[in-house]
Structure 1
Amino acid sequence: MTTLPNVCLLRGGGDLATGVAWRLTRAGWPVVVCELATPLTVRRTVAVSSAVSDGEVDVEGMRAVRAQHVAEALELAATGVIPVLVSPEMPAIDADVVVDARLAKRNLDTSIEDARLVVGLGPGFTAGVDCHAVVETMRGTRLGRVLWAGSAAPDTGRPGAVGGRGAERVLRAPTDGTVTWEVDIGDVVEDGQRLGLVGGVSVEAPFGGVVRGLISDRVDLTAGLKIGDVDPRLDPVACNEISDKALAIGGGVVEAVLTWSNR
Protein backbone atom coordinates (compact mmCIF):
# COMPACT_ATOMS: atom_id res chain seq x y z
CA MET A 1 0.00 0.00 0.00
CA THR A 2 1.18 3.52 -0.88
CA THR A 3 0.15 6.39 1.35
CA LEU A 4 -0.48 10.14 1.28
CA PRO A 5 -1.95 11.85 4.37
CA ASN A 6 -5.67 12.65 4.12
CA VAL A 7 -5.99 11.37 0.56
CA CYS A 8 -9.51 10.98 -0.84
CA LEU A 9 -9.97 8.31 -3.50
CA LEU A 10 -12.85 8.89 -5.91
CA ARG A 11 -14.08 5.92 -7.88
CA GLY A 12 -15.43 7.59 -11.01
CA GLY A 13 -14.55 10.83 -12.77
CA GLY A 14 -17.80 11.90 -14.43
CA ASP A 15 -19.40 15.33 -14.09
CA LEU A 16 -20.92 14.64 -10.66
CA ALA A 17 -17.68 13.13 -9.37
CA THR A 18 -15.89 16.20 -10.70
CA GLY A 19 -18.09 18.41 -8.52
CA VAL A 20 -16.96 16.30 -5.55
CA ALA A 21 -13.29 16.63 -6.55
CA TRP A 22 -13.68 20.39 -7.02
CA ARG A 23 -15.18 20.84 -3.54
CA LEU A 24 -12.66 18.55 -1.81
CA THR A 25 -9.57 20.15 -3.35
CA ARG A 26 -10.80 23.61 -2.40
CA ALA A 27 -11.25 22.37 1.16
CA GLY A 28 -7.60 21.26 1.15
CA TRP A 29 -7.99 17.50 0.67
CA PRO A 30 -5.78 15.72 -1.89
CA VAL A 31 -7.81 13.71 -4.39
CA VAL A 32 -7.06 10.72 -6.62
CA VAL A 33 -9.62 9.65 -9.25
CA CYS A 34 -10.03 6.15 -10.71
CA GLU A 35 -11.71 5.68 -14.08
CA LEU A 36 -12.41 3.17 -16.82
CA ALA A 37 -10.10 2.87 -19.81
CA THR A 38 -13.04 4.10 -21.91
CA PRO A 39 -15.15 6.46 -19.77
CA LEU A 40 -18.90 6.67 -20.40
CA THR A 41 -19.08 10.36 -19.47
CA VAL A 42 -21.56 12.53 -21.38
CA ARG A 43 -20.72 15.98 -19.95
CA ARG A 44 -17.10 15.63 -21.00
CA THR A 45 -16.22 19.35 -20.90
CA VAL A 46 -16.73 19.40 -17.12
CA ALA A 47 -15.42 15.95 -16.21
CA VAL A 48 -11.95 14.96 -15.07
CA SER A 49 -12.50 11.61 -16.80
CA SER A 50 -11.64 13.40 -20.06
CA ALA A 51 -7.99 13.29 -18.94
CA VAL A 52 -8.00 9.56 -19.76
CA SER A 53 -8.15 10.27 -23.50
CA ASP A 54 -6.83 13.85 -23.61
CA GLY A 55 -3.97 13.43 -21.15
CA GLU A 56 -4.90 16.61 -19.32
CA VAL A 57 -8.02 18.69 -18.78
CA ASP A 58 -8.92 21.93 -16.98
CA VAL A 59 -12.32 22.26 -15.33
CA GLU A 60 -12.95 25.73 -13.94
CA GLY A 61 -9.31 26.15 -13.00
CA MET A 62 -8.94 22.63 -11.59
CA ARG A 63 -6.24 20.71 -13.46
CA ALA A 64 -6.62 16.97 -13.97
CA VAL A 65 -3.83 14.83 -15.45
CA ARG A 66 -3.77 11.19 -16.44
CA ALA A 67 -1.38 9.32 -14.12
CA GLN A 68 0.42 6.23 -15.33
CA HIS A 69 0.82 4.58 -11.92
CA VAL A 70 -0.01 4.98 -8.24
CA ALA A 71 3.24 6.68 -7.24
CA GLU A 72 2.76 9.36 -9.92
CA ALA A 73 -0.86 9.81 -8.86
CA LEU A 74 0.11 10.50 -5.25
CA GLU A 75 2.86 12.91 -6.31
CA LEU A 76 0.34 14.88 -8.38
CA ALA A 77 -2.33 14.80 -5.67
CA ALA A 78 0.13 16.27 -3.17
CA THR A 79 0.45 19.35 -5.41
CA GLY A 80 -3.30 19.96 -5.75
CA VAL A 81 -3.53 18.47 -9.25
CA ILE A 82 -6.19 15.78 -9.77
CA PRO A 83 -4.53 12.57 -10.97
CA VAL A 84 -6.76 10.26 -13.01
CA LEU A 85 -5.77 6.59 -12.90
CA VAL A 86 -7.17 4.00 -15.28
CA SER A 87 -8.16 1.51 -12.60
CA PRO A 88 -11.58 -0.15 -12.61
CA GLU A 89 -10.51 -1.99 -9.45
CA MET A 90 -9.42 -0.42 -6.15
CA PRO A 91 -5.78 0.68 -6.55
CA ALA A 92 -3.12 -0.03 -3.92
CA ILE A 93 -3.60 3.28 -2.10
CA ASP A 94 -4.11 3.55 1.65
CA ALA A 95 -6.85 6.18 1.35
CA ASP A 96 -8.39 7.85 4.37
CA VAL A 97 -11.59 8.42 2.39
CA VAL A 98 -13.12 6.44 -0.48
CA VAL A 99 -16.07 7.92 -2.38
CA ASP A 100 -17.97 5.67 -4.77
CA ALA A 101 -18.96 8.29 -7.34
CA ARG A 102 -19.72 5.92 -10.21
CA LEU A 103 -23.49 6.51 -9.94
CA ALA A 104 -24.26 2.95 -10.98
CA LYS A 105 -27.58 3.04 -9.03
CA ARG A 106 -26.34 -0.05 -7.21
CA ASN A 107 -23.30 -1.10 -5.23
CA LEU A 108 -20.89 -2.74 -7.65
CA ASP A 109 -18.14 -3.78 -5.23
CA THR A 110 -17.67 -1.12 -2.53
CA SER A 111 -17.16 -2.27 1.05
CA ILE A 112 -17.30 -0.36 4.32
CA GLU A 113 -13.83 -1.81 4.94
CA ASP A 114 -12.30 0.01 1.93
CA ALA A 115 -11.21 3.04 4.00
CA ARG A 116 -11.59 4.75 7.34
CA LEU A 117 -14.46 6.70 5.79
CA VAL A 118 -16.45 5.28 2.87
CA VAL A 119 -19.09 7.47 1.20
CA GLY A 120 -21.60 6.24 -1.37
CA LEU A 121 -23.37 8.58 -3.77
CA GLY A 122 -27.03 7.98 -4.45
CA PRO A 123 -29.10 4.79 -4.51
CA GLY A 124 -27.59 1.37 -3.99
CA PHE A 125 -25.80 2.08 -0.71
CA THR A 126 -26.90 1.73 2.92
CA ALA A 127 -25.06 3.74 5.56
CA GLY A 128 -23.71 1.48 8.26
CA VAL A 129 -23.81 -1.58 6.00
CA ASP A 130 -21.65 -1.10 2.89
CA CYS A 131 -20.50 2.46 3.60
CA HIS A 132 -20.36 4.91 6.50
CA ALA A 133 -22.36 7.70 4.85
CA VAL A 134 -24.61 8.18 1.83
CA VAL A 135 -25.08 11.46 -0.04
CA GLU A 136 -28.45 12.07 -1.70
CA THR A 137 -28.21 12.62 -5.47
CA MET A 138 -31.87 13.08 -6.41
CA ARG A 139 -32.86 16.63 -7.32
CA GLY A 140 -35.14 18.27 -4.79
CA THR A 141 -35.01 19.48 -1.21
CA ARG A 142 -32.84 16.54 -0.08
CA LEU A 143 -30.17 16.89 -2.76
CA GLY A 144 -26.71 16.82 -1.18
CA ARG A 145 -27.90 15.74 2.28
CA VAL A 146 -25.65 13.37 4.21
CA LEU A 147 -27.23 10.22 5.66
CA TRP A 148 -25.40 8.38 8.45
CA ALA A 149 -28.13 5.74 8.57
CA GLY A 150 -30.36 4.32 5.84
CA SER A 151 -30.27 4.81 2.09
CA ALA A 152 -30.74 7.50 -0.52
CA ALA A 153 -34.02 7.77 -2.42
CA PRO A 154 -34.47 4.83 -4.83
CA ASP A 155 -33.75 5.31 -8.51
CA THR A 156 -36.90 6.37 -10.37
CA GLY A 157 -35.41 5.83 -13.82
CA ARG A 158 -36.52 9.37 -14.73
CA PRO A 159 -33.90 12.13 -15.10
CA GLY A 160 -34.53 15.28 -13.08
CA ALA A 161 -35.99 18.27 -14.89
CA VAL A 162 -33.65 20.94 -16.28
CA GLY A 163 -35.30 24.04 -17.67
CA GLY A 164 -38.67 22.28 -17.50
CA ARG A 165 -37.47 19.26 -19.51
CA GLY A 166 -37.03 15.83 -17.95
CA ALA A 167 -36.51 12.47 -19.64
CA GLU A 168 -36.89 13.96 -23.11
CA ARG A 169 -33.65 15.97 -22.74
CA VAL A 170 -31.56 12.78 -22.50
CA LEU A 171 -30.30 11.21 -25.72
CA ARG A 172 -30.03 7.42 -25.78
CA ALA A 173 -28.44 5.05 -28.28
CA PRO A 174 -31.16 3.82 -30.66
CA THR A 175 -29.17 0.67 -31.45
CA ASP A 176 -25.84 -1.04 -30.79
CA GLY A 177 -22.83 0.42 -32.56
CA THR A 178 -20.49 3.40 -32.58
CA VAL A 179 -21.53 7.03 -32.85
CA THR A 180 -20.50 9.68 -35.34
CA TRP A 181 -21.47 13.15 -34.09
CA GLU A 182 -22.28 16.03 -36.45
CA VAL A 183 -22.41 18.62 -33.65
CA ASP A 184 -20.24 19.55 -30.68
CA ILE A 185 -20.93 20.23 -27.01
CA GLY A 186 -22.04 23.85 -26.73
CA ASP A 187 -23.72 24.01 -30.15
CA VAL A 188 -27.22 25.47 -30.40
CA VAL A 189 -29.51 23.03 -32.22
CA GLU A 190 -33.07 23.08 -33.54
CA ASP A 191 -35.95 20.75 -32.80
CA GLY A 192 -35.55 17.58 -34.87
CA GLN A 193 -32.04 18.43 -36.10
CA ARG A 194 -29.85 15.41 -36.74
CA LEU A 195 -27.05 15.33 -34.19
CA GLY A 196 -25.30 12.19 -35.34
CA LEU A 197 -25.59 8.54 -36.27
CA VAL A 198 -25.36 5.40 -34.14
CA GLY A 199 -24.87 2.27 -36.23
CA GLY A 200 -26.34 4.20 -39.17
CA VAL A 201 -29.47 5.22 -37.19
CA SER A 202 -30.14 8.95 -36.80
CA VAL A 203 -30.05 10.65 -33.38
CA GLU A 204 -32.14 13.83 -33.43
CA ALA A 205 -32.60 16.77 -31.09
CA PRO A 206 -35.79 16.30 -29.04
CA PHE A 207 -36.32 20.09 -28.95
CA GLY A 208 -34.39 23.28 -29.58
CA GLY A 209 -31.60 23.95 -27.13
CA VAL A 210 -27.89 23.68 -26.42
CA VAL A 211 -25.97 20.42 -26.66
CA ARG A 212 -24.89 20.00 -23.02
CA GLY A 213 -23.13 16.68 -23.37
CA LEU A 214 -22.12 14.00 -25.87
CA ILE A 215 -20.48 10.66 -25.17
CA SER A 216 -17.09 10.08 -26.80
CA ASP A 217 -17.13 8.56 -30.28
CA ARG A 218 -14.56 6.04 -29.02
CA VAL A 219 -17.20 4.14 -27.00
CA ASP A 220 -18.88 0.96 -28.21
CA LEU A 221 -22.56 1.65 -27.51
CA THR A 222 -25.40 -0.62 -26.55
CA ALA A 223 -29.01 0.27 -27.30
CA GLY A 224 -30.55 2.43 -24.57
CA LEU A 225 -27.25 3.77 -23.20
CA LYS A 226 -27.27 7.48 -22.31
CA ILE A 227 -25.19 9.20 -24.98
CA GLY A 228 -26.11 12.89 -24.82
CA ASP A 229 -27.99 15.71 -23.17
CA VAL A 230 -29.78 18.73 -24.65
CA ASP A 231 -30.36 21.77 -22.41
CA PRO A 232 -33.41 23.94 -23.22
CA ARG A 233 -32.01 26.96 -21.35
CA LEU A 234 -29.96 28.13 -24.37
CA ASP A 235 -26.89 29.06 -22.32
CA PRO A 236 -23.74 27.66 -23.98
CA VAL A 237 -21.59 29.01 -21.11
CA ALA A 238 -23.20 26.48 -18.75
CA CYS A 239 -21.69 23.64 -20.79
CA ASN A 240 -18.29 24.54 -19.33
CA GLU A 241 -19.44 25.00 -15.74
CA ILE A 242 -19.84 22.39 -13.01
CA SER A 243 -23.58 21.94 -12.45
CA ASP A 244 -25.53 23.02 -9.39
CA LYS A 245 -26.30 19.34 -8.76
CA ALA A 246 -22.64 18.33 -8.85
CA LEU A 247 -21.68 21.14 -6.48
CA ALA A 248 -24.48 20.23 -4.06
CA ILE A 249 -23.35 16.60 -4.00
CA GLY A 250 -19.75 17.74 -3.60
CA GLY A 251 -20.77 19.90 -0.66
CA GLY A 252 -22.42 16.86 0.92
CA VAL A 253 -19.21 14.84 0.58
CA VAL A 254 -17.17 17.65 2.16
CA GLU A 255 -19.67 17.76 5.04
CA ALA A 256 -19.29 14.00 5.51
CA VAL A 257 -15.47 14.22 5.45
CA LEU A 258 -15.35 17.12 7.92
CA THR A 259 -17.88 15.50 10.25
CA TRP A 260 -15.83 12.31 10.26
CA SER A 261 -12.46 14.07 10.71
CA ASN A 262 -13.79 16.20 13.58
CA ARG A 263 -14.86 13.06 15.40
Structure 2
Amino acid sequence: MKQSAPLIIVRGAGDLASGVLAAIHICGFRVLALETANPSAIRRTVAFSEAVRLGHCTIEGIEARLIAKDQVARILSAKDSESDTQSDTEAITAVLSGTEVIATGINTLAAETGAAAGSKANRLSFIPIAVDPTGELIGELQPAAVVDAIIAKKNCGTHLDMAPLVIALGPGFTAGKDAHIVIETMRGHNLARLIYQGAALPNTGVPGLVGGESALRVIHAPAAGTLRVMRDIGESVTRGETIARIIHTDGSVTDVAASLNGIIRGMLPDGFVVHSGLKMADIDPRLTELNNCFTISDKARSLGGAVLTALLSRGIVP
Protein backbone atom coordinates (compact mmCIF):
# COMPACT_ATOMS: atom_id res chain seq x y z
CA MET A 1 0.00 0.00 0.00
CA LYS A 2 1.31 3.43 -0.90
CA GLN A 3 2.32 5.52 2.08
CA SER A 4 0.24 8.50 3.13
CA ALA A 5 1.10 11.81 1.54
CA PRO A 6 3.09 14.29 3.65
CA LEU A 7 1.07 16.33 6.13
CA ILE A 8 1.08 20.10 5.63
CA ILE A 9 -0.38 22.23 8.42
CA VAL A 10 -1.64 25.67 7.45
CA ARG A 11 -2.15 28.28 10.15
CA GLY A 12 -5.15 30.35 9.11
CA ALA A 13 -8.06 29.65 6.77
CA GLY A 14 -9.10 33.10 5.55
CA ASP A 15 -9.55 33.89 1.87
CA LEU A 16 -5.83 34.02 1.03
CA ALA A 17 -5.02 30.97 3.14
CA SER A 18 -7.86 29.16 1.39
CA GLY A 19 -6.08 29.58 -1.94
CA VAL A 20 -3.12 27.81 -0.38
CA LEU A 21 -5.28 25.10 1.19
CA ALA A 22 -7.09 24.41 -2.08
CA ALA A 23 -3.87 24.17 -4.07
CA ILE A 24 -2.07 21.74 -1.80
CA HIS A 25 -5.21 19.66 -1.23
CA ILE A 26 -5.89 19.32 -4.96
CA CYS A 27 -2.29 18.25 -5.55
CA GLY A 28 -2.65 15.35 -3.14
CA PHE A 29 -1.04 16.49 0.10
CA ARG A 30 -2.67 15.71 3.41
CA VAL A 31 -3.58 19.07 4.89
CA LEU A 32 -4.87 20.46 8.16
CA ALA A 33 -6.01 24.03 8.73
CA LEU A 34 -5.78 25.66 12.15
CA GLU A 35 -8.03 28.60 13.04
CA THR A 36 -9.28 30.71 15.90
CA ALA A 37 -12.62 30.04 17.57
CA ASN A 38 -14.08 33.22 16.09
CA PRO A 39 -12.62 33.85 12.62
CA SER A 40 -12.94 37.39 11.31
CA ALA A 41 -12.49 36.80 7.58
CA ILE A 42 -14.85 39.11 5.68
CA ARG A 43 -14.65 37.20 2.37
CA ARG A 44 -16.60 34.36 3.95
CA THR A 45 -17.82 32.79 0.71
CA VAL A 46 -14.22 31.99 -0.28
CA ALA A 47 -12.75 31.28 3.17
CA PHE A 48 -12.57 27.78 4.61
CA SER A 49 -12.65 29.43 8.04
CA GLU A 50 -16.44 29.47 7.61
CA ALA A 51 -16.33 25.79 8.57
CA VAL A 52 -15.59 26.90 12.13
CA ARG A 53 -18.85 28.84 12.25
CA LEU A 54 -21.04 26.49 10.19
CA GLY A 55 -19.44 23.08 10.77
CA HIS A 56 -18.55 22.71 7.11
CA CYS A 57 -18.30 24.77 3.93
CA THR A 58 -17.49 24.22 0.25
CA ILE A 59 -15.44 26.42 -2.07
CA GLU A 60 -15.12 25.53 -5.75
CA GLY A 61 -16.12 21.94 -5.02
CA ILE A 62 -13.69 21.48 -2.14
CA GLU A 63 -15.21 20.84 1.26
CA ALA A 64 -13.78 21.78 4.64
CA ARG A 65 -15.08 20.31 7.88
CA LEU A 66 -14.66 21.34 11.48
CA ILE A 67 -13.00 18.59 13.50
CA ALA A 68 -12.72 18.39 17.27
CA LYS A 69 -9.11 18.96 18.30
CA ASP A 70 -8.85 15.61 20.07
CA GLN A 71 -10.10 13.79 16.96
CA VAL A 72 -7.72 15.31 14.41
CA ALA A 73 -5.00 12.64 14.61
CA ARG A 74 -7.55 9.87 14.08
CA ILE A 75 -9.21 11.63 11.16
CA LEU A 76 -5.92 12.36 9.43
CA SER A 77 -4.96 8.70 9.62
CA ALA A 78 -8.17 7.61 7.86
CA LYS A 79 -7.45 7.47 4.12
CA ASP A 80 -10.17 7.10 1.50
CA SER A 81 -8.60 3.80 0.42
CA GLU A 82 -9.48 2.37 3.82
CA SER A 83 -13.11 3.45 3.73
CA ASP A 84 -14.45 -0.01 2.89
CA THR A 85 -13.60 -1.17 6.41
CA GLN A 86 -15.32 1.77 8.07
CA SER A 87 -18.97 2.48 8.64
CA ASP A 88 -20.52 4.89 6.16
CA THR A 89 -22.42 6.39 9.07
CA GLU A 90 -19.36 7.16 11.16
CA ALA A 91 -19.72 10.66 12.58
CA ILE A 92 -17.23 13.27 13.58
CA THR A 93 -18.45 15.37 16.47
CA ALA A 94 -16.84 18.79 16.86
CA VAL A 95 -17.69 20.65 20.05
CA LEU A 96 -17.14 24.39 20.00
CA SER A 97 -18.52 26.74 22.66
CA GLY A 98 -21.07 24.11 23.68
CA THR A 99 -22.43 23.64 20.17
CA GLU A 100 -22.21 20.22 18.53
CA VAL A 101 -21.51 20.04 14.83
CA ILE A 102 -22.04 16.61 13.29
CA ALA A 103 -20.33 15.69 10.04
CA THR A 104 -21.48 12.25 8.94
CA GLY A 105 -19.65 9.72 6.80
CA ILE A 106 -16.10 11.03 6.56
CA ASN A 107 -15.41 8.88 3.51
CA THR A 108 -18.66 9.21 1.60
CA LEU A 109 -18.85 12.92 0.80
CA ALA A 110 -15.83 13.15 -1.51
CA ALA A 111 -16.08 16.07 -3.90
CA GLU A 112 -14.50 15.94 -7.35
CA THR A 113 -11.73 18.52 -7.19
CA GLY A 114 -9.71 17.63 -10.26
CA ALA A 115 -6.99 15.83 -8.30
CA ALA A 116 -5.46 12.71 -9.77
CA ALA A 117 -7.03 9.48 -8.59
CA GLY A 118 -3.71 8.20 -7.34
CA SER A 119 -3.11 11.15 -5.06
CA LYS A 120 -6.72 11.16 -3.83
CA ALA A 121 -6.16 7.71 -2.37
CA ASN A 122 -3.52 9.09 -0.04
CA ARG A 123 -5.43 11.92 1.61
CA LEU A 124 -8.89 12.76 2.84
CA SER A 125 -11.55 13.90 0.41
CA PHE A 126 -12.07 17.06 2.47
CA ILE A 127 -9.94 19.60 4.31
CA PRO A 128 -10.10 19.17 8.08
CA ILE A 129 -10.03 22.34 10.14
CA ALA A 130 -9.47 22.55 13.88
CA VAL A 131 -9.68 25.36 16.40
CA ASP A 132 -6.07 25.71 17.55
CA PRO A 133 -4.87 29.32 17.38
CA THR A 134 -1.61 28.62 19.20
CA GLY A 135 -0.66 25.64 17.04
CA GLU A 136 -0.54 23.00 19.76
CA LEU A 137 -1.36 20.27 17.22
CA ILE A 138 1.81 21.04 15.27
CA GLY A 139 4.04 19.50 17.92
CA GLU A 140 1.75 16.50 18.25
CA LEU A 141 1.37 15.73 14.55
CA GLN A 142 4.93 16.51 13.36
CA PRO A 143 4.03 17.76 9.86
CA ALA A 144 6.44 17.86 6.95
CA ALA A 145 5.81 21.59 6.65
CA VAL A 146 3.99 24.42 8.37
CA VAL A 147 2.58 27.35 6.42
CA ASP A 148 1.71 30.53 8.31
CA ALA A 149 -1.07 32.04 6.19
CA ILE A 150 -2.75 34.03 8.94
CA ILE A 151 -1.87 37.27 7.12
CA ALA A 152 -1.86 39.18 10.41
CA LYS A 153 0.96 41.46 9.17
CA LYS A 154 2.88 40.24 12.23
CA ASN A 155 4.22 36.97 13.59
CA CYS A 156 1.62 35.20 15.75
CA GLY A 157 4.02 32.62 17.16
CA THR A 158 5.42 30.80 14.13
CA HIS A 159 9.07 29.76 14.47
CA LEU A 160 11.70 27.81 12.56
CA ASP A 161 11.66 24.65 14.65
CA MET A 162 7.96 23.96 14.12
CA ALA A 163 8.70 21.70 11.13
CA PRO A 164 11.48 20.73 8.69
CA LEU A 165 10.09 23.44 6.41
CA VAL A 166 8.35 26.56 7.68
CA ILE A 167 6.81 28.93 5.13
CA ALA A 168 5.34 32.29 6.09
CA LEU A 169 3.18 34.63 4.03
CA GLY A 170 3.51 38.38 4.13
CA PRO A 171 5.10 40.97 6.43
CA GLY A 172 6.13 40.19 10.00
CA PHE A 173 8.56 37.40 9.15
CA THR A 174 12.25 37.25 8.27
CA ALA A 175 13.50 34.33 6.19
CA GLY A 176 16.16 32.43 8.09
CA LYS A 177 14.95 33.76 11.43
CA ASP A 178 11.20 33.12 11.70
CA ALA A 179 10.71 30.88 8.66
CA HIS A 180 12.79 29.09 6.06
CA ILE A 181 10.92 30.80 3.22
CA VAL A 182 8.83 33.98 3.23
CA ILE A 183 6.35 34.66 0.42
CA GLU A 184 5.53 38.17 -0.77
CA THR A 185 1.83 39.05 -0.50
CA MET A 186 1.89 42.63 -1.79
CA ARG A 187 0.15 43.01 -5.15
CA GLY A 188 2.50 43.98 -7.94
CA HIS A 189 5.53 42.63 -9.74
CA ASN A 190 6.82 40.64 -6.75
CA LEU A 191 3.53 39.07 -5.64
CA ALA A 192 4.11 35.41 -4.64
CA ARG A 193 7.90 35.70 -4.92
CA LEU A 194 9.81 33.29 -2.67
CA ILE A 195 12.17 35.09 -0.29
CA TYR A 196 15.08 33.11 1.15
CA GLN A 197 16.79 36.01 2.91
CA GLY A 198 15.12 39.02 4.40
CA ALA A 199 11.46 39.94 4.72
CA ALA A 200 8.40 40.70 2.66
CA LEU A 201 7.49 44.31 1.96
CA PRO A 202 6.12 46.07 5.07
CA ASN A 203 2.41 46.60 5.49
CA THR A 204 1.38 49.91 3.94
CA GLY A 205 -2.03 49.97 5.60
CA VAL A 206 -3.53 50.80 2.20
CA PRO A 207 -5.74 48.13 0.53
CA GLY A 208 -4.74 46.94 -2.91
CA LEU A 209 -6.26 48.62 -5.95
CA VAL A 210 -9.40 46.88 -7.24
CA GLY A 211 -11.44 48.39 -10.05
CA GLY A 212 -9.65 51.69 -9.59
CA GLU A 213 -10.52 51.90 -5.88
CA SER A 214 -8.32 51.26 -2.86
CA ALA A 215 -9.07 52.62 0.62
CA LEU A 216 -12.72 53.42 -0.15
CA ARG A 217 -13.61 49.83 -0.94
CA VAL A 218 -12.79 48.54 2.56
CA ILE A 219 -15.16 49.44 5.39
CA HIS A 220 -14.16 49.39 9.05
CA ALA A 221 -16.57 49.30 11.97
CA PRO A 222 -17.21 52.89 13.12
CA ALA A 223 -18.02 51.74 16.66
CA ALA A 224 -18.15 48.69 18.90
CA GLY A 225 -21.22 46.48 19.16
CA THR A 226 -23.13 43.63 17.55
CA LEU A 227 -23.31 43.61 13.76
CA ARG A 228 -26.66 43.41 12.01
CA VAL A 229 -26.18 42.77 8.30
CA MET A 230 -28.60 44.59 5.99
CA ARG A 231 -26.95 43.81 2.64
CA ASP A 232 -24.79 40.71 2.28
CA ILE A 233 -22.13 39.28 -0.02
CA GLY A 234 -23.11 39.30 -3.69
CA GLU A 235 -25.62 42.15 -3.41
CA SER A 236 -25.29 45.38 -5.40
CA VAL A 237 -25.26 48.58 -3.37
CA THR A 238 -25.08 52.32 -3.98
CA ARG A 239 -22.93 54.82 -2.17
CA GLY A 240 -24.57 56.04 1.03
CA GLU A 241 -26.94 53.07 1.28
CA THR A 242 -27.14 51.42 4.71
CA ILE A 243 -25.49 48.02 4.44
CA ALA A 244 -25.27 47.17 8.15
CA ARG A 245 -26.07 48.39 11.62
CA ILE A 246 -24.10 48.14 14.82
CA ILE A 247 -26.17 47.61 17.95
CA HIS A 248 -24.48 49.03 21.04
CA THR A 249 -24.79 47.63 24.55
CA ASP A 250 -27.11 50.50 25.51
CA GLY A 251 -29.45 49.66 22.63
CA SER A 252 -28.47 52.58 20.43
CA VAL A 253 -27.66 51.97 16.78
CA THR A 254 -24.98 53.16 14.38
CA ASP A 255 -25.71 52.77 10.67
CA VAL A 256 -22.90 51.72 8.33
CA ALA A 257 -23.17 53.09 4.79
CA ALA A 258 -21.72 51.82 1.53
CA SER A 259 -18.62 53.83 0.69
CA LEU A 260 -19.10 53.50 -3.07
CA ASN A 261 -21.25 51.87 -5.75
CA GLY A 262 -20.52 48.21 -6.33
CA ILE A 263 -21.00 44.64 -5.16
CA ILE A 264 -20.47 43.57 -1.58
CA ARG A 265 -17.56 41.14 -1.80
CA GLY A 266 -16.96 40.71 1.91
CA MET A 267 -19.02 41.08 5.06
CA LEU A 268 -18.64 39.79 8.60
CA PRO A 269 -21.52 37.48 9.59
CA ASP A 270 -24.68 38.76 11.20
CA GLY A 271 -24.32 38.78 14.98
CA PHE A 272 -20.54 39.22 14.96
CA VAL A 273 -19.31 41.37 17.83
CA VAL A 274 -17.09 44.08 16.38
CA HIS A 275 -14.72 46.57 17.91
CA SER A 276 -14.19 50.04 16.54
CA GLY A 277 -11.85 49.97 13.56
CA LEU A 278 -12.31 46.27 12.77
CA LYS A 279 -12.44 45.51 9.04
CA MET A 280 -16.04 44.48 8.50
CA ALA A 281 -16.85 44.75 4.79
CA ASP A 282 -15.40 45.05 1.29
CA ILE A 283 -17.09 46.49 -1.80
CA ASP A 284 -15.96 45.64 -5.33
CA PRO A 285 -16.72 48.57 -7.66
CA ARG A 286 -16.78 46.25 -10.69
CA LEU A 287 -20.49 45.55 -11.10
CA THR A 288 -19.81 42.89 -13.76
CA GLU A 289 -17.61 40.78 -11.47
CA LEU A 290 -20.28 39.10 -9.32
CA ASN A 291 -18.73 35.66 -9.75
CA ASN A 292 -15.58 36.89 -8.03
CA CYS A 293 -17.50 36.88 -4.75
CA PHE A 294 -17.70 33.10 -4.87
CA THR A 295 -14.39 31.99 -6.40
CA ILE A 296 -10.80 31.95 -5.16
CA SER A 297 -9.06 35.18 -6.14
CA ASP A 298 -6.09 35.60 -8.44
CA LYS A 299 -3.98 36.68 -5.47
CA ALA A 300 -4.97 33.65 -3.38
CA ARG A 301 -4.26 31.30 -6.29
CA SER A 302 -0.87 32.92 -6.85
CA LEU A 303 0.04 32.39 -3.21
CA GLY A 304 -1.13 28.78 -3.43
CA GLY A 305 1.17 28.22 -6.39
CA ALA A 306 4.05 29.83 -4.52
CA VAL A 307 3.57 27.52 -1.54
CA LEU A 308 3.53 24.52 -3.87
CA THR A 309 6.77 25.72 -5.44
CA ALA A 310 8.34 26.05 -2.00
CA LEU A 311 7.25 22.55 -0.99
CA LEU A 312 8.42 20.86 -4.17
CA SER A 313 11.72 22.73 -4.19
CA ARG A 314 12.50 21.18 -0.81
CA GLY A 315 11.61 17.68 -1.95
CA ILE A 316 8.23 17.53 -0.22
CA VAL A 317 5.96 15.81 -2.72
CA PRO A 318 2.51 14.18 -2.45
The TM-score by the shorter chain falls in which range? over 0.9
Q: Is residue 209 of structure 1 aligned with residue 269 of structure 2? A: no
Secondary structure of 1:52 counterpart: helix
Counterpart CA distance in 1 for 2:143 and 2:272 is: 30
Q: Within 5 Å, which residues of 2 pair with 1:237-252?
A: 237-252=291-306
Secondary structure of 1:210 counterpart: strand
Secondary structure of 1:95 counterpart: coil
Q: Is residue 225 of structure 1 aligned with residue 278 of structure 2? A: yes
Q: 1:73 to 1:50 in 2, by over 3 A?
A: farther
Q: Is residue 85 of structure 1 aligned with residue 158 of structure 2? A: no
Q: Over the residues paired in the alignment, what is the CA RMSD in angstroms?
A: 1.7
> What stretches of structure 1 move > 6 A for 4+ residues in a row?
none
**Aligned-pair CA distance for 1:72:** 4.5
- Counterpart residue number, 1:118: 166
**Aligned-pair CA distance for 1:5:** 4.4
- Counterpart residue number, 1:254: 308
* 8 Å Cα contact 2:229-2:269 kept in structure 1: no
- Counterpart residue number, 2:148: 100
* 8 Å Cα contact 1:5-1:96 kept in structure 2: no
1:187-230, Cα deviation, whole Å (9 max, x unpaired): 01111110011231111111110000101234321111101100
Counterpart CA distance in 1 for 2:191 and 2:5 is: 30
State, as a whole percentage, how many aligned pairs show the same letter: 42
* 8 Å Cα contact 2:229-2:245 kept in structure 1: yes
Q: Is residue 138 of structure 1 aligned with residue 183 of structure 2? A: no
* 8 Å Cα contact 2:242-2:256 kept in structure 1: yes
Aligned length: 261
Q: Which amino acid aligns with 2:11?
A: R
Which runs of 5 or more structure 2 residues have no equivalent in the other structure?
A: 79-105, 107-121, 248-252
TM-score normalised to the size of structure 1? 0.95
- Counterpart residue number, 1:63: 63
Counterpart CA distance in 2 for 1:168 and 1:72 is: 46
In our comparison, the structure showing a higher alpha carbon Rg is 2
Counterpart CA distance in 1 for 2:272 and 2:229 is: 12
Q: Within 5 Å, which residues of 2 pair with 1:175-194?
A: 175-194=223-242
TM-score normalised to the size of structure 2? 0.79
